[in-house]
């Protein structure tokens, strides 16, 4: 199963929104998809309409990645109960966010190895580089780094690439960056244009196209518990198309690996 991680090492730049957009694109493309909610805030679990729907959650899976625990932490998403499942997030997972012994970093990967019914797994990581993000990245084939065109987000993106590189040399030899998604792009902002140019200078071909524009439809669909492909209007269609392109790029990269 191809496993795609979404990380940033910075809060609030859009990891969860990108995870949800890619899950929406995956379902629209007919891929049976599992979303892993590694963030103790559990925003993804809520947005996918899966809260409280399973007996266990990802915290129990990281305690013991046996197949029966994994099964008991899976819930169907209200977006599409046949195509989309969630490995439930919970505040309890924060227990696993401290320093982690290297020999334990493979627990999420071990858990995912007990499953074979998905065409794609997407992991939503928390904002910090703690044990949870390390677990997540160690389980991935490819990692997407999400950023906004602002100074602090740009420096965080650089740190995220360094973290991916460090993990590849230690616990995750197969891990590769897929690229940078620039989110919340506003058409007429000179500061943003400056930061975009800076990102292009730093990451060159790793910048994924298209960039994701800032659109009210993103928050409206999330607030209504619906997928962006299922939300009316031209802005939602534009976002949906952007996620289709990024997903296609990711699937291509992971099938070549
Ligand atoms: N392209 C966009 N257009 C409009 N709103 C957006 C966009 N991307 C994200 N948002 C909004 O910004 C807020 C933060 O986004 P999100 O929760 O996806 O970030 P995050 O990186 O997952 O945050 P955290 O670090 O807390 O996990 C949310 O309210 C979301 O709806
Ligand atoms: Mg989030």
* Domains of the chain with CATH codes: 3-256 (3.40.50.300)
Kindly report the protein residue whose alpha carbon is nearest to atom 2 of ligand 1: 214
Question: In angstroms, what is the span from residue 11 Cα to ligand 1's centroid?
Answer: 9
- Three-class DSSP category at 122: strand
If you average pLDDT over every residue of the chain, what do you get? 95
Q: Are 181 and 212 in contact (CB under 8 A)?
A: yes
CA distances (Å), origin 72, targets 56, 99, 120, 124, 176: 5, 26, 19, 19, 30
Ligand nearest to the CA of 44: 2
Mutate to test the pocket of ligand 1, among 7, 8, 16 (most ligand atoms within 8 A of CB): 16
pLDDT bucket at 256, cuts 50 / 70 / 90:
confident
Q: Are 21 and 239 in contact (CB under 8 A)?
A: yes
- Determine whether the shortest distance from the Cβ of 184 to ligand 1 is under 6 A: yes
Nearest atom within ligand 1 for CA of residue 8 = 21
Kindly report the protein residue whose alpha carbon is nearest to atom 19 of ligand 1: 14
Q: What angle do CA 239, 244, 249 make, to 5 degrees?
A: 130
Mutate to test the pocket of ligand 1, among 6, 10, 14, 223 (most ligand atoms within 8 A of CB): 14
153-163 average pLDDT score: 93
What's the confidence (pLDDT) of residue 97?
93
Q: Are 60 and 73 in contact (CB under 8 A)?
A: yes
In this predicted structure, the answer to whether residue 100 has a pLDDT above a threshold of 80 is: no
Q: How many Cα atoms are found within 13 Å in the side-chain-facing hemisphere of 116?
A: 1
What's the confidence (pLDDT) of residue 238?
97
What's the confidence (pLDDT) of residue 188?
85
In this predicted structure, the answer to whether residue 88 has a pLDDT above a threshold of 90 is: yes
Q: What is the DSSP letter of 205?
A: G
Question: Bridge partners of 207?
Answer: 180
CA distance 48 to 39: 14
Nearest atom within ligand 1 for CA of residue 12 = 23
237-242 average pLDDT score: 98
What's the confidence (pLDDT) of residue 52?
80
| Strand bridging mode 74-76 / 84-87 | antiparallel
Cα-to-chain-centroid distance, residue 133: 11
């Amino acid at each position: 199963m191809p496993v795609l991680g979404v990380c940033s090492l910075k809060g609030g730049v859009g990891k969860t929104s990108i995870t949800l957009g890619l899950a929406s694109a995956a379902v629209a493309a007919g891929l049976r998809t599992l979303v892993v909610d590694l963030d103790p805030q559990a925003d993804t679990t809520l947005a996918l309409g899966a809260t409280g729907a399973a007996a266990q959650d990802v915290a129990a899976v990281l305690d013991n990645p046996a197949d029966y625990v994994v099964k008991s932490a899976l819930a169907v998403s209200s977006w599409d109960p046949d195509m989309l499942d969630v490995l439930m997030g919970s505040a309890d997972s924060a227990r696993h966010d401290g320093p982690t012994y290297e020999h334990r970093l493979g627990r999420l990967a071990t858990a995912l190895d007990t499953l074979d019914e998905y065409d794609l797994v997407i992991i939503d990581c928390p904002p910090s580089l703690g044990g949870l993000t390390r677990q997540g990245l160690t389980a991935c084939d490819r990692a997407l780094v999400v950023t906004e065109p602002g100074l602090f987000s740009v420096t965080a993106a650089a740190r995220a690439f360094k973290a991916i590189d460090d993990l590849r040399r230690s616990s995750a030899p197969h891990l590769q960056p897929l690229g940078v998604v620039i989110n919340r792009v506003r058409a007429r902002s000179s500061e943003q244009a400056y930061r975009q140019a800076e990102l292009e200078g730093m990451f060159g071909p790793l910048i994924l196209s298209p960039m994701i524009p800032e659109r009210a439809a993103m928050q409206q669909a999330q607030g209504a518990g619906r997928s962006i492909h299922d939300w009316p209007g031209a802005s939602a269609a534009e976002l949906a198309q952007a996620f289709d392109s990024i997903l296609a790029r990711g699937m291509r990269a992971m099938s070549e690996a």
